[in-house]
């Protein structure tokens, strides 16, 4: 499916919402008559960054105004983008003119230059280490004639990528813990998609969610390092390795050390709802996208 077809076949009405852990309620920030996806919350608390139809935008939470973020040769930006920890840069995944296959780019500040960090296609960014030195991403690479989807790391300035997982099936969504010791990710290796955690060098890969009725995707660690939210699809609604849009899903939370899963929100969403970290700086709220449809 082409980038244009993917967007055209989506539910076109959606809203960015913010869930407040203290009240247990969501409020709508802005409604859209187009597909928007994957909000990031800036560290100053003033903006959300999201993607829509191949472009990146910055939404002012006070005024509701949007501004386009210039991305240079990257013209099909997707829902995998992260903000530089303690900095002003943004790293993101996108295709280029004439080739929609995803690569990885870094923009050095809102007004800075855009440079390609990973040129090999089918690479999807999800994490930036707290020391700003390393990116973590999901990628499809050929091994013995077979395409394998695994987690990789690469220097943020560019360089040789390092394979961190080799379990069969899809391994996706890598994100660093706030102390840089761990990478959280999701893997289908048990037969269902579940949330996992490993050391930043790929060692000690440990399963963290266990619900046999749900496929769990895209774990996001709070800034205070105490909790993790993620998106769950109901078993049977799709294949374990799929993360489709326009599905009845849940947003759940677990303690960062592992433990009981808690459902926070039930919504119509999925792909684009919360692909990237969207926690508020104070760890009390997170942003997400819901779409019109069943709940």
Tens-place pLDDT, residues 32-85:
999 999 999 999 999 999 999 999 999 999 999 999 999 999 999 999 999 999
The pLDDT, as a whole number, for residue 248 is: 97
Query: Cβ of 107: how many Cβ atoms within 10 Å?
Result: 23
The pLDDT, as a whole number, for residue 161 is: 98
The pLDDT, as a whole number, for residue 46 is: 98
Percentage, residues of the chain above pLDDT 90: 93
The pLDDT, as a whole number, for residue 11 is: 73
The mean pLDDT value of the chain amounts to 96
Angle at alpha carbon of residue 252, lines to 249 and 257, rounded to 5°:
150
Residue 282: burial class (beta carbons within 10 Å; 0-12, 13-18, 19+): exposed
Rg over CA atoms, the chain:
17
Alpha-carbon distance 117 to 157, whole Å? 7
CB 202 within 8 A of CB 164: yes
The pLDDT, as a whole number, for residue 294 is: 63
pLDDT for 295 beyond 60: no
Long-range contacts of 253-260 (CB under 8 A, 24+ apart): 253/227, 253/228, 253/229, 254/195, 254/208, 254/209, 254/227, 254/228, 254/230, 255/226, 255/227, 255/228, 256/177, 256/221, 256/222, 256/225, 256/226, 256/227, 256/228, 258/208
Averaged pLDDT, 193-208: 98
Q: Which of 8-12, 54-58, 222-226, 258-262 has the lowest mean pLDDT?
A: 8-12
The pLDDT, as a whole number, for residue 31 is: 97
Q: What is the pTM of this model?
A: 0.96
The pLDDT, as a whole number, for residue 4 is: 72
pLDDT confidence bin for 1, thresholds 50/70/90 = low
Question: pLDDT digits over 95-151, tens only?
Answer: 999 999 999 999 998 889 999 999 999 999 999 999 999 999 999 999 988 999 999
């Amino acid at each position: 499916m082409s980038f244009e077809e993917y967007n055209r076949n989506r539910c076109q009405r959606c809203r960015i919402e913010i869930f407040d852990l203290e009240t247990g309620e969501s409020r709508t920030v802005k409604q859209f008559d187009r597909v928007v996806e994957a909000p990031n919350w800036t560290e100053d608390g003033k903006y959300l960054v999201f993607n829509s139809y191949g472009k990146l935008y910055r939404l002012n939470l006070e005024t509701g105004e949007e501004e386009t973020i210039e991305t240079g040769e990257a013209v099909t930006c997707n829902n995998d983008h992260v903000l530089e920890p303690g900095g002003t840069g943004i790293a993101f995944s996108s295709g280029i003119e004439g080739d929609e296959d995803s690569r990885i780019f870094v923009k050095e500040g809102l007004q800075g230059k855009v440079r390609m960090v990973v040129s090999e296609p089918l690479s999807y960014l999800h994490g930036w280490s707290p020391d700003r030195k390393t990116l973590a991403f999901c990628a499809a690479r050929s091994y013995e004639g077979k395409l394998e989807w695994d987690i990789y790391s690469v220097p943020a300035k560019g360089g040789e990528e390092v394979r961190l997982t080799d379990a069969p099936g899809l391994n996706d969504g890598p994100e660093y813990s706030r102390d840089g010791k761990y990478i959280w990710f999701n893997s289908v290796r048990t037969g269902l998609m579940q949330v996992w955690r490993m050391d930043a060098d790929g060692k000690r890969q440990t399963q963290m969610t266990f619900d046999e009725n749900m496929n769990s995707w895209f774990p996001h660690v709070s800034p205070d390092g105490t909790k993790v939210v993620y998106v769950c699809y109901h078993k049977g609604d799709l294949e374990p390795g799929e993360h489709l849009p326009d599905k009845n899903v849940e947003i759940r939370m677990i303690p960062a050390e592992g433990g009981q899963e808690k459902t926070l929100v039930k919504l119509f969403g999925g792909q684009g709802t919360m692909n990237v970290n969207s926690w508020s700086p104070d760890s009390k709220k997170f942003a997400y996208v819901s779409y019109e449809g069943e709940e």
